[in-house]
Amino acid sequence: RAPTIEQVDLFFRLINDPTKTPLLIHCGGGKGRACTMIACYLAIYGFQSPLAQEWTQPIMSANEAIDKLRQLRPGSIETEQQEGFVHTFVSTVWKRQAHLPSLPNEPEGIPLAIEGQLDANIDLIMLCGLPGSGKFYMAQMMLTRDDRWTINSQDETRSRDICEHELGRPGKYSKAILDRCNPDREDRKQWLAIAHWARKPICVYFDYDPTLCISRAQQRSDMYYMII
């Protein structure tokens, strides 16, 4: 299979950041998905570093980039889907007239709205919001300020069963943070039932523009969508 537009954009954003280089690009055999990304690089930047040029337009066509790459490494780009993706990506860059997509503006802050009464002895914090809304960052900052908290994150465990098992136990200090999207009331109700020990739970909803959340999530190279 081919990478996605967002994955190549993230790759380009990394190589345009001098603090993130050198980079290693690889896949299962090193000729398919990895070489698809390299062909995109050659088409957009040629054989120069992005930091060493004033970029105005793609240097090569998709066909030229694929041919150059196959001269250097025969067998590169293994499927028609991968070859077609290089054409799609180059076309995307021409249409947006930029080698990198513009990022949405980050808000300076949004007002905090509180419903109900806050108690000083909160024992369960359920974070609710889209990926990229800031749930993970908040959980980490809370743990930094008070190491009695335990973070339960399905993104980290990669397993709902493990997350349920961990949340079902109160832990040493009976203070837990549930880091999930928790999209609807019924879903949150199920998790509250699992945390049967919690007496003073609260829900924190991250009300950010979905466009901003998606953009943030797509910049996170440690997440699953960068695995090609």
Q: Give catalytic status of residue 27 as yes or no.
A: yes
User: For residue 125, what are the contacts with CB-CB under 8 A and spacing of at least 6?
Assistant: 142, 149, 176, 177, 178, 201, 202, 203, 204
Sign for the CA dihedral angle at 171, 172, 175, 178 comes to negative
Can you tell me whether residue 15 is helix, strand or coil? helix
Any idea which residue has 């136990």 for tokens? Answer: 169
Q: Of 27, 40, 163, 213, which is the active-site residue?
A: 27
Query: What is the full DSSP assignment across 146-212?
Result: -TT-EEEEHHHHS-HHHHHHHHTS-TTTS-EEEES---SHHHHHHHHHHSTT-SSEEEEE----HHH
Active site residues: 27
